[in-house]
Amino acid sequence: MLDAKTIIVIAADQGLRRSVAFALEVEGYATQSYDTLRAAEDASRLALCAIVDDDILRSEPQAAAQFLSNRGGGAILLVDGLSALQRREDYATLTKPFTGADLLGVINSLVVAAK
């Protein structure tokens, strides 16, 4: 069951999905993890936010653009230093590698902005 405290994690890499989900669950967030945007689409509508790895953005560019525009600001992109993505105001970015504290800081900023 999704609620406003559930965070969706979308990454092709299973290890990354597990690591991000674990860091969030330790802090009391419920998570659901997916390996494609299509699989996550329905669940993400009700979630606090969606965390999307940039590998997904590269492998599904059109779906990613649509997904991000539908999120309306509740998205965090995990990018590496080589990502060609332009920073935009309708989603937050977090550069890999990152710490749990970095991730929580971005999530807390989204929560404050949503109020």
Binned at pLDDT 50, 70 and 90, residue 112 comes out as confident
CATH number of 6-114: 3.40.50.2300
Q: What is the reported pLDDT for 7? A: 94
Q: What is the DSSP string of 34-55?
A: ESSHHHHHHHHTTSSEEEEEHH
- pLDDT, tens digit, 9 for 90 and up, residues 54-108: 888 888 888 888 888 777 668 999 988 765 555 556 688 898 899 999 999 999 8
Q: What is the reported pLDDT for 1? A: 45
Helical pair 100-114 and 14-26, crossing angle rounded to 10 deg: 70
Binned at pLDDT 50, 70 and 90, residue 21 comes out as very high
